Amino acid sequence: MSPPKDFASPAPTAATQAVNVVPRIFPIVLAVFASFLAIGIALPALPLHVHDRLGLSTLMVGVVAGAQFVAAPLTRAWAGGLCDTRGSKRAVMTGFALAVASALAYLASLSMVDQPEASVAVLIAGRILLGGAESLVVTGALSWGVGLAGPQNAGKVMAWVGIAMYGAYAAGAPAGMALYQQAGFHGIALAGMLAPVLALLVLAGIKGLPPASARRIPFYKVLGAVWWPGMGLAFSSVGFGVITAFISLLFTAKEWGSPSLAFTAFGIAFIGARLLFGHLPDRIGGARVALVCVLIEAAGQLCIWQAAAPLLVYAGAALTGFGYSLAFPGFGVEAVKRTPPQSRGAAMGAYVAFLDISLGLTGPLAGALAGQHGVSAVYLAGCGAVSCALVIALRLLKPSRANPTTN
């Protein structure tokens, strides 16, 4: 009986392995960083604008903030299809245009601040546009980068695109807070327009790759092909989700002061792991890297759960960041292996959608758990979820060991 079909390229030659990926994808990485600044800059300002200036409830703050993350997974299939049929560059540039439209909606909402309900409705429309923009940019950048660097370097591409995204979040949040204090939400909207315009200029002269001429496979088959790597990503993302959403509440409950060092520890470990070890998924296999990294991430969650002092939380946040950093490209390499080149854009869209869904569910489910059993219990649950990713990594290892080389 024939083994399950593997669409990965043949084992790379020494010449292929010697290719320096970074120069090939650097303009894409730079453009992703610039565009994601628009998201990062708005993050700390949105709650203040909606709650303090518009005078709306914390529930509405959550609705406004979450609108982007609801829109993103709903547009992943469209983004992937656009990559495969019109080319990845077209998808990325369309995403930048939507980001500019989102900033225009932000500006339009400011013209009706004396009508808070109308203003927030326009603001939500802008957030939905931004969710679509994020979906197109990430899916297109991953597909474009893998096309330029080759599927044998998919892990490196994912690592560098991830560095650009999370680096933009890290840089954008303090910059956005300072900008909001100086220029208000008007300044946030203008900066949100400038960032994607700069990204458009960066990529305007870069030649895109033509769409594949081979027939695409249906999206439901693509989803089936990436199902297990995607579920691994979903479970491993819970650790990231509970760090970002509940560390502040944990420090408040324990009366430990500011949680900023926990976020710093997570970010440094996350980016450091990708810079130092981002080549490993391509070299030794995505499932092997994911297996080790989710163990590290689970240990970090346990550290936070048992923490009796802030220092152990910092250590746990660093372990979580380190482990999660390479779990994403680890499972991602497995997703790329399971899909043909002509449907790689759809595969990237489907794969990243598991992250969107995971983060969308983690917040309310973990919040309900914290209300019943305390904030610390969230991190025990996080360890349990990450451990499910460990089981999936083990499952992904089995086919490659069991498959014969011939029929």
Domain 215-402 has CATH 1.20.1250.20: yes
Contacts of 313 (CB under 8 A, 6+ apart): 247, 250, 251, 256, 259, 262, 303, 304, 307
Contacts of 254 (CB under 8 A, 6+ apart): 310
Predicted confidence (pLDDT) per residue in 307-353, tens digit: 999 999 999 999 999 999 999 899 999 998 888 877 777 788 788 88
Cβ neighbours, 10 Å, residue 45 = 22
**pLDDT score of 269:** 92
Same CATH fold assignment for domains 20-208 and 215-402: yes
pTM for this predicted structure: 0.74
Rounded to the nearest 5 percent, the helix, strand and coil shares of the chain are 85, 0, 15
H helix and E strand count, the chain: 16, 0
Domain 20-208 sits in CATH at 1.20.1250.20
User: Mapped to the 3 state alphabet, what secondary structure does 148-170 carry?
Assistant: HHCHHHHHHHHHHHHHHHHHHHH
**Dihedral angle over CA of 17, 18, 23, 24, nearest 10:** -40
**Cβ atoms of 203 and 94 closer than 8 Å:** no
Domain locations in the chain?
A: 20-208, 215-402
Q: Is 184 left (phi over 0), alpha (psi -120 to 50) or beta?
A: left
CA–CA distance from 283 to each of 8, 16, 18 (Å)? Answer: 13, 12, 12
Mean pLDDT of 108-126: 94
Q: Which of 3-17, 119-133, 314-328 has the lowest average pLDDT?
A: 3-17
What is the SS3 assignment for 200?
helix
Predicted confidence (pLDDT) per residue in 350-397, tens digit: 888 898 788 778 877 888 888 889 889 999 999 999 999 999 999 999
**Cβ atoms of 88 and 143 closer than 8 Å:** yes
Residue 290 has pLDDT above 90, yes or no: yes
**Cβ atoms of 266 and 320 closer than 8 Å:** yes
**Cβ atoms of 296 and 386 closer than 8 Å:** no
